[in-house]
Amino acid sequence: MLAISSSPLFSDHFGWLLEDPISHQFINTAAETSDNLSSSQTRLLQHCDSNKFDQIINNGDQPDQMVKKLNHNASERDRRKKINTLYSSLRSLLPASDHTKKLSIPSTISRVLKYIPELQIEVERLIEKKEELTSRTISNKENSADFNKQKRRGGNEISSLVISASEVGDKEVVIQISTLKINKCSFGEAVSELEDEGLSLLNSSCFETFEDRVFYTLHFQVQGTMVVELDTLRDKLSSYFEEDK
């Protein structure tokens, strides 16, 4: 009678079962590959999961080719991340109304290209408005200086009230008033008179001279579809100041 061997049928001469031949193949291949790589290349492979490693091995790539592929993939991820960050920064420069929408990258570029000319037009408009207001302020100060000179020379024929009005754009009016401090009409009453005519005060300034003269500069916005007639407005203000003397 034959004796039955107690050793396993599928064991090697070292005494353990080959339960996972694929895993042993991966370990042996990785060990052989790591001998041919530098320390930096080995660290890179340690971050690569076994599935990617098996795929590269099955494709028959050499160790250097494996590292190049891994480096390329990492660089591509970094590149896409930087591009997304740049587009996010670009999107943040758009008006607040555009932040409520989820714009794609092409839509973001299209909106920015449209928004830049709009900003340029707005900047040019504000520059022109600033220059015009600055010139009017300088003119106002020059008129004040001329008035003081003429008064010192005995120019008593100069009127105690000077009113000028001019349009700034389509819906804005600047009014300059020069009057003596002895006038009983107050600044607030003059503004109320103008607001009754359909004007809304945007800005105002006032300064006095040592000759007891006051200069007002009033910047108004025209409300609704109202059409302002500057001559009529000046006449109304003149009569208002004259009545309150």
**What are the chain's domains?**
66-141 (4.10.280.10), 161-243 (3.30.70.260)
Confidence of residue 134 (pLDDT cuts 50, 70, 90): confident
Per-position DSSP letters for 110-177, written without gaps between them: HHHHHHHHHHHHHHHHHHHHHHHHHHHHHHHHHHHHHHHHHHHTT-TTS-SEEEEEEE-SSSEEEEEE
Contact 199, 173 (CB under 8 A): yes
CB atoms near residue 66 (< 10 Å): 21
Taking 3-state DSSP, the helix, strand and coil percentages for the chain, each rounded to the nearest 5, stand at 55, 15, 30
Collapse the DSSP code of 216 into the 3-class scheme (helix H, G, I; strand E, B; otherwise coil) and give the result: strand
Q: What's the mean per-residue pLDDT of the chain?
A: 70
Q: Which of 244, 144, 227 is nearest to 193 (CA)?
A: 244
Q: pLDDT value at position 200? A: 85
The sign of the dihedral angle between the CA atoms of 8, 14, 17, 21 is negative
Confidence of residue 242 (pLDDT cuts 50, 70, 90): low
List strands edge to edge, sheet with 199-208.
Answer: 161-167, 172-180, 213-222, 199-208
Q: pLDDT value at position 93? A: 83
Among 39-48, 166-175, 190-199, 209-218, the least confident range: 39-48
- pLDDT top residue among 34 and 137: 137
Q: pLDDT value at position 244? A: 54
